[in-house]
Copies of this chain bind each other. A is one copy, B any other.
């Protein structure tokens, strides 16, 4: 949690007590989690600070007390979110003892997060699109994109190891391919929640073997 910092935090030149700054951080996290819930449901465009406050246990004044402005809050949310999302497959990568096991575990985790955390993924693709128009979001989005790319690259590297082969595409390419499939699934999930996870699995199974070669 402490890894996430805010522009407002920089203004706390005197963190009188450790318990004090810690409490501030706790509030920020609570607000961010509440905000993320609202953002995931409504999307960036339709989410106002008041809406975030209403869906939380705080009033809209508190939001502005802990965050300089809207962008500061959103930015903090994004950074808070990223710390949770990019390590999703680490366990699978570490424990898998065969290529097939890795693929199975990877697909299971991916379809699971598709179903369980749909709002978060919708929000991520929304924010990434917004970052094309709102420069202030770009650094955070780029950082997350990089984390996700590395995540995919770790998986593919391990997959190559286990199958005694080598990746046949570079890291950005591998990420773009997998991400394209996943985004398609996230967008399609709204219209077809039943079939989408299986379709995603099927399509990843078509693609993954092509990304490595002896």
A128–B138 Cα gap in the complex (Å)?
Answer: 19
| Stretch in A12-20, A55-63, A76-84, A177-185 with 4+ CB within 8 Å of B | A177-185
Interface size class of A (residues with CB under 8 A): 35 or more
Q: Is the CB of B132 within 8 A of A126?
A: yes
Neighbouring B residues of A45 by C-beta, 8 Å: 44-45, 130, 133
Neighbouring B residues of A175 by C-beta, 8 Å: 184
Q: Is the CB of A133 within 8 A of B129?
A: no
Q: Is the CB of A191 within 8 A of B126?
A: no
| Residue A28 lies at the interface, judged by CB distance under 8 Å to chain B | no
Neighbouring B residues of A168 by C-beta, 8 Å: 206, 210
Task: List residues of A (167-214) whose CB comes within 8 Å of B's CBs.
Answer: 168-170, 172-173, 175-181, 183-184, 186-187, 190-191, 199, 203, 206-207, 210-211
| Residue A66 lies at the interface, judged by CB distance under 8 Å to chain B | no
Task: Mark A18-58 against chain B: 1 for CB-CB distance below 8 A, else 0.
Answer: 00000000000000000000000011111000000000000
Q: Is the CB of A130 within 8 A of B43?
A: yes
Q: Is the CB of B170 within 8 A of A206?
A: yes
Neighbouring B residues of A90 by C-beta, 8 Å: none
> Known interface pairs A43-B130, A210-B210. Does A138 touch B172 (Cβ–Cβ under 8 Å)?
no
Distance in Å from the Cβ of A72 to the closest Cβ of chain B? 18
Neighbouring B residues of A179 by C-beta, 8 Å: 180, 184
Looking across the interface, which residue of chain B has its beta carbon closest to that of A200? B176
A141–B186 Cα gap in the complex (Å)?
Answer: 14
The 5 closest A-B pairs by CB, nearest first: A180-B180, A45-B45, A43-B133, A129-B129, A176-B184
Q: Which residues of A contact B (CB under 8 A)?
A: 42-46, 122, 125-126, 128-134, 138, 141-142, 145, 168-170, 172-173, 175-181, 183-184, 186-187, 190-191, 199, 203, 206-207, 210-211
